[in-house]
Structure 1
């Protein structure tokens, strides 16, 4: 397998944890997503070659599941729930505040690569509506002004850890 990528050692590490069987496709894709934040064309090709299945099949799996992404996203992914309870309780206003604060639209990434915005369906936390998730941290009962403070806090933490 002569595929060139700065991450090939790591992709190979992920691949070799699994038997080269098609049934491991999703598990491998999930691990690649977790490791790199997205699934690059080179990684799709490496998975296809390792499993000996057409790249179109791996691509189909990667595009079927919303949790998988073929595009590089920000280090911090802000997910705004727009399920019924969140929508009724003002998630649209929260989303607009986030878009203004980051100066990007949903499904975009800030130029510094720090933040991405996604709108998601119900996250199962209706009692805390409206809900934001930043990476794995949930923010409930979000009011106008709180989202921007959360962004500032995350940005400050990112700068401190840089």
Structure 2
């Protein structure tokens, strides 16, 4: 997943976006690929970028916004460099996932699907990570961590600072 691209200049990002428009010019069904590549450039989908996409391919903004909000792969707010996904599936729930989530949430000072002010972390919940035997489980970026306790989860997250 793309994280915040704050280190790039806005001018550079818009130049890249123009190159993406050129790539998909006269390409039927370009909305989703355009949104994907725009998100890769900006780290999320700012409203002005979605408006520019709508104008460029001649679709109403309502359609662009509808697609961006329908698919969970798209994000309308900046996300942290480290994406923490906390499993809330049945096995994790039964083994204390709520307490693990609460500990990480409290430590970071953010709630469900929020990012820290410094954009170091985004805390998300997911229905299942597919590692039920390791419940409760979380992923930080592409790393899976299981058999968590609240203290263990907080300690793991701190390693990603």
Structure 1 pair 35–133 and aligned structure 2 pair: CA distance change class (3 A):
farther
Q: Distance in 2 between matches of 1:16 and 1:133?
A: 36
Secondary structure of 1:154's counterpart equals: coil
TM-score between the two structures when normalised by the length of structure 2: 0.84
Please provide the CA RMSD for this pair: 1.7
- C-alpha displacement of 1:65: 0.8
TM-score scaled by structure 1?
Answer: 0.84
Query: How many residues are aligned here?
Result: 151
Partner in structure 2 of residue 136 of structure 1: 142
Task: State how 1:42-57 maps to structure 2 within 5 Å.
Answer: 42-57=48-63
Consecutive unaligned residues of structure 2, counting only runs of 5 or more, are 1-9
CA drift at 1:71: 0.9
Q: Deviations over 1:27-58 (max 9, x none)?
A: 22122223322101121012112211111111
Q: Tell whether 2:34 aligns with 1:28.
A: yes
Question: How many angstroms does 1:12 deviate by?
Answer: 1.7
Q: Distance in 2 between matches of 1:32 and 1:81?
A: 28
- Rounded Cα–Cα distance in structure 1 between residues aligned with 2:26 and 2:153: 44
**What stretches of structure 1 of length at least 5 have no aligned partner?**
156-162
